[in-house]
Structure 1
Amino acid sequence: MKLYHLRSLFFIYILFGSAIAASAQTGKVATSTIGLGWANNSVNTVVFRKNALVTFKGEQYAAYYNNDQVLVLAKRKSGSAKWQVTATQYKADAADAHKDISIMVDGAGYLHVAWGHHNQTLNYAKSIKPRSLVLAAQQSMTGITENKVSYPEFYHLPGGDLLFVYRDGGSGNGNLVMNRYSIASQKWVNVQQNLIDGEGKRNAYWQMCIDKKGTIHISWVWRESPDVASNHDMCYARSNDGGLTWEKSTGEKYILPINAANAEYACKIPQHSELINQTSMFADDQGNPFIATYWRDSSTTIPQYHIVFKTSSSWRSESLGFRKTAFSLGGTGTKRIPISRPQIIAWNRSGKQSAAIIFRDTERGDKVSVAVNNDLQGATWQVNDLSSESVGEWEPTYDTELWKDKKVLSLFVQKVTQVDGEGKASIPPTNVQVLDWKPLK
């Protein structure tokens, strides 16, 4: 018990740079271990997992591949260090880092799981009963465009229904599909078969979130080819009716599908700017969207983390500016990159809009790091580490529902190795952990 409190105080100290005596007013960090996971690439820790962790009615669920590439599920009472762990009947080719596991719990308590996709037929199952870790047989959702699935993501709607979005097609020529699950009928229906249209020339790499009012926010970069260097621009759309109709931030209605010609451009970013795809966004309690990503401005050789957000009159882009090392982003497959894609959270503190970017950077020893800005009206970001040891090529994913409800940041953490260009390492499994941080209210 004493060791736990000492660790908490240490993490609080490095995070806020303040005296340990002030820790009770600052917050705390705690870590728990679930089990051993596959670490030969980053498939368990890619940033686009929605979600790796999810909390429902006081229980937190987790999913990962073990060293035999078996899909493992786990749950605990919120805040407990003791996990219940179940190896499922399902396996996947974990050697492809695209083939992540995504989970979500619907409003009736059923766990939904999708796994093993990189232009594959849909792999989807749900639990046999509420609050169970036992999965039923695989099933289709709607039977429409389910044979070339990539990047599956679940989202929880107010009221308990779910959204499921994925790419139909390949890199450089795919379209965005959206389905909705009804807890009343226990069935999926197709909402959008082609929400964002690549027109056979490009595809959208998106990030999405749902705010407390139920508004769906989506932003994306365009990619012109399988080469990541062809990423360009940041676009935006929102829906106030569960994804049926869409509009720009100005309220102007979109004529669907959205394409390169009619999209709203939140930020113009040229190709070959080291612009990464599939990052994160967040909408605050007032429905204001914040997008986190990284790219290199034309005046420098160093890619920097950026935050793109909407003011009352226009979109703003702010460079966090703390990085000092140049690198070039290009090629195909999962890349070994010296920084992770970022996650973003935002909250209101004493009437000021605060935000935090969670990331990993080789400059900082590949630790779990956080950059905090306590007032976005200014440009002051304080950067600190939440872990003392390297997490390899880890990228951050967090429990979106726990953050929405309790303002607790619960991160899925595992030290992994990513060989450049979809390579596979040969290392022993490593600990799958959950790191919890609760900032000041």
Structure 2
Amino acid sequence: MAYMKDAKGRRLDTFEVEAKAFTPPMAFSHLPGGLSGKSQYNGVSYNQDSISTGDGKQYAGWYNEAGALIIGKRKLPTGAWSTFDLSGVAGNPLVLPVDNDPHNNVSLIVDAQGYIHVAANMHGDVLRYVRSTNPHDITAWTAPGMTGLNEAQVTYPRWALHPDGTLFFMYRDGASGNGDIYLNRRNVGGAWTQLGMLAAGKATNENPYESRFVISAAGTLAVALTWRPNGGDANTNADVHFIKSTDKGATWKNAAGAAVTIPLVHSNTNAKALATAATNSGIINQFGLDLDVSDHPHIALMLASDAGPDRNIHHLWWNGTAWVNEQVTDLKNGMGITNWTTRPAIVCTAEGRTLIAYSVPRFGSLRGVPRLVDVTGGKSTEVPLVDVDLRDLEITFDGRAMRERNELYFMVSHANADVGNPGAEYWDVNNFSRQWGAIVSVDLSQIGVLLRREARVPRIRTIQTMSVPLTTVTSTTDVALPGSGGLITTPDLRGKQVFARLTGRASTTGGTCLLSVFEVQQGGTSRLFGSIPFTASTTVMRSTPWIPLQYGPTNNTEALLQILGRVSATFTGSVSTAVLELGVMDGPVY
């Protein structure tokens, strides 16, 4: 029998469906093992980058609970993670374990040939840099050095890759109030050379703080800077300059294209994007920068605004003829450190959107929840990126994936910025010793789905709850509270990331009453975690962050959790309420 067919040879009496691979608008992948949240180094604005993607392979770097720097590798989109501990590199060139200092961040990139470059664990230290011995191999490393010039006091390492494969490395040499910014370059297969000092601060007894260092799809290099005098603090950051280069760092221009003398100095006027007061400008250093499809710069930063004044997020951008300053948030948060936002990141997409990511760790009803704001064309549409309180985590993006794949990849974890004193909302810094981590991805071609709230974002969903009645504590060693029969994980949770959170209110006749969570795995392995201290003056409810279980489901078995309490010798603790929750990560998790 003969059938009528179309120009492609398909029968007209039937229809065929062409199978296409489905790409979710958002995806989520747990990182193996635990991440340290005792400081902010796994999620700070100058991590450039903590994730890097090339040739369909993705690499990530994080500090674990022991302070070791772990490099992870997977094949996109859903490959399993393999890991390597950089503490084991001969001679320990990264001087691990990490100092408990948020400045000692992780910055890495995979270059055009597949070599992985890592600079990490520095706050005014001699350059610490390693490179993979072989392309796309995380198991063998070398410490080749770089240029040997101006590398004695390094902080804020940043990588960026040019479309032609040229690799750039930016860093500060010096200290707060007394630093210079340098830029190094490495041609494909070549040696490192120093292009020179990009911004000078030592000569004038101040420090230029750099924004994110970006390279556009057209190959334009760009950076913005703010300035701090010696002896100052964040409240003395002042003014914003912007410079760009269209010849890979040989010469530099302002936003309008006029030549700028390098090294840039604070007194320069033709590269100034924003003039501010010398104090209380609201600027917090290391803010966000990107270039749009027309190579126009867009800066996201905190500025003092409104009558308060308040420290709000602003969008400072070049419209082709002038700088425009638009206020994005209206937080009514004052200028104090307690209510600061995180330093914002900004992304200009291939489709022409401008997106800002930030959170407010200690203020408002959505505290600690990373948010994404679409500010394209002056509008402001805001949605959560991850519906979990991540405290002080600052969002940074994988620069290569954003430019080359039109995808956002960012690392999420709980982070604690208060290193010496965990602060009123942290209770015990050990609640952050072994936290969780994950990579979240967003397909920018489908960003509208997220902005319309049609996509499920990751969240921790409570699945079991246990509470204990009013009770007293007299033991000086940890014992189960009366009525704390315990929560038992169920077989369906095996292999999943499961969390616990403790909330309570208690007081004591003296000393400290401590409530904690006890976790014991089927077979006997156990630990104590999730501690909250209470004193005689305690009057408010206190809660730990969500803390991942270390045993049980992680090891494909079950675990029992109980609430334990103890009190200082000779005193009595009174527990008015104690609630233990068990939660599981929900949303686009794989």
Residue 360 of structure 2 aligns with which residue? 361
Q: Secondary structure at the match of 1:259?
A: coil
Contact 1:173 1:203 in 2 (8 A): yes
Residue 83 of structure 1 aligns with which residue? 81
Q: Secondary structure at the match of 2:436?
A: strand
Alpha carbons of structure 1 residues 231 and 199: separation in structure 2 relative to 1, 3 Å: same
Contact 2:350 2:406 in 1 (8 A): no
- Root-mean-square deviation (CA, aligned residues, Å) is 2.2
Residue 149 of structure 1 aligns with which residue? 154
Question: What pairs with 1:205-284 in structure 2 (closer than 5 Å)?
Answer: 205-207=209-211, 208-225=213-230, 226-263=232-269, 264-270=271-277, 271-284=279-292
Alpha carbons of structure 1 residues 224 and 106: separation in structure 2 relative to 1, 3 Å: same
Residue 121 of structure 1 aligns with which residue? 126
Q: Secondary structure at the match of 2:263?
A: coil
Alpha carbons of structure 1 residues 26 and 276: separation in structure 2 relative to 1, 3 Å: farther
Question: What pairs with 1:24-35 in structure 2 (closer than 5 Å)?
Answer: 28-35=25-32
Q: Distance in 2 between matches of 1:63 and 1:357?
A: 23
State the 1:93 CA deviation. 2.7
Bigger radius of gyration among the two: 2
Q: Secondary structure at the match of 1:401?
A: helix
Over residues 399-429 of structure 1, what are the superposed CA-to-partner deviations in whole Å (9 max), with x where a residue is unaligned? 1111112221111111122216787932331
State the 1:145 CA deviation. 0.9
Contact 2:289 2:300 in 1 (8 A): yes
Over residues 278-309 of structure 1, what are the superposed CA-to-partner deviations in whole Å (9 max), with x where a residue is unaligned? 01111122211111111112633221101111
Q: What letter corresponds to residue 231 of structure 1 in structure 2?
A: N
Alpha carbons of structure 1 residues 147 and 56: separation in structure 2 relative to 1, 3 Å: same
Q: Distance in 2 between matches of 1:99 and 1:344?
A: 23
Over residues 221-252 of structure 1, what are the superposed CA-to-partner deviations in whole Å (9 max), with x where a residue is unaligned? 11113411110111111111111211112222
Residue 7 of structure 1 aligns with which residue? none
Residue 58 of structure 1 aligns with which residue? 56
Residue 161 in structure 1 maps to residue 166 in structure 2: yes
Q: What letter corresponds to residue 342 of structure 2 in structure 1?
A: S
Contact 2:100 2:419 in 1 (8 A): no
Over residues 122-146 of structure 1, what are the superposed CA-to-partner deviations in whole Å (9 max), with x where a residue is unaligned? 0001001000113423232111111
Q: Secondary structure at the match of 2:141?
A: coil
Q: Secondary structure at the match of 2:104?
A: coil
Question: What pairs with 1:313-332 in structure 2 (closer than 5 Å)?
Answer: 313-329=321-337
State the 1:337 CA deviation. 5.8
Task: For CA contacts below 8 A with separation 6 or more, give which structure has more relative contact order.
Answer: 1
Q: 383-392 or 307-316, which moves further after superposition?
A: 383-392
Residue 379 of structure 2 aligns with which residue? 380
Over residues 44-97 of structure 1, what are the superposed CA-to-partner deviations in whole Å (9 max), with x where a residue is unaligned? 111111100011010111001111111110011122152111112241433011
Q: Distance in 2 between matches of 1:365 and 1:256?
A: 41
Residue 295 of structure 1 aligns with which residue? 303
Q: Distance in 2 between matches of 1:318 and 1:201?
A: 32
Residue 417 in structure 1 maps to residue 416 in structure 2: yes
Q: Distance in 1 between matches of 2:202 and 2:327?
A: 29
Stretches of structure 1 that go unaligned for 5 or more consecutive residues are 1-23, 330-335
Over residues 134-171 of structure 1, what are the superposed CA-to-partner deviations in whole Å (9 max), with x where a residue is unaligned? 34232321111111101111111122121111111110
Q: Distance in 1 between matches of 2:445 and 2:253?
A: 35
Q: 43-52 or 175-184, which moves further after superposition?
A: 175-184
Residue 110 of structure 1 aligns with which residue? 115
Q: Distance in 2 between matches of 1:317 and 1:417?
A: 31
Over residues 163-184 of structure 1, what are the superposed CA-to-partner deviations in whole Å (9 max), with x where a residue is unaligned? 1111111101100111111223
Return the match for 1:170 from 172, 175, 199: 175
Q: Distance in 2 between matches of 1:224 and 1:148?
A: 18
Stretches of structure 2 that go unaligned for 5 or more consecutive residues are 1-20, 423-427, 447-590
Q: Distance in 1 between matches of 2:445 and 2:168?
A: 31
Between the aligned residues of both structures, percent identity stands at: 24
Q: Distance in 2 between matches of 1:143 and 1:338?
A: 38
Q: Give TM-score, length-normalised by structure 1.
A: 0.87
Alpha carbons of structure 1 residues 230 and 381: separation in structure 2 relative to 1, 3 Å: same
Question: What pairs with 1:37-56 in structure 2 (closer than 5 Å)?
Answer: 37-56=35-54
Alpha carbons of structure 1 residues 422 and 240: separation in structure 2 relative to 1, 3 Å: farther
Contact 1:238 1:247 in 2 (8 A): yes
Q: What letter corresponds to residue 212 of structure 1 in structure 2?
A: A
State the 1:436 CA deviation. 1.0
Q: Distance in 1 between matches of 2:97 and 2:419?
A: 21
Q: Distance in 2 between matches of 1:194 and 1:211?
A: 19
Contact 1:98 1:151 in 2 (8 A): yes
Q: Secondary structure at the match of 1:405?
A: helix
Alpha carbons of structure 1 residues 407 and 140: separation in structure 2 relative to 1, 3 Å: same
State the 1:317 CA deviation. 0.7
Q: Distance in 2 between matches of 1:183 and 1:312?
A: 33
Contact 2:333 2:340 in 1 (8 A): no
Residue 8 of structure 1 aligns with which residue? none
Q: Distance in 1 between matches of 2:344 and 2:140?
A: 31
Alpha carbons of structure 1 residues 314 and 62: separation in structure 2 relative to 1, 3 Å: same
Q: What letter corresponds to residue 71 of structure 1 in structure 2?
A: L
Residue 405 of structure 1 aligns with which residue? 404
Aligned length: 405
Residue 346 of structure 2 aligns with which residue? 344
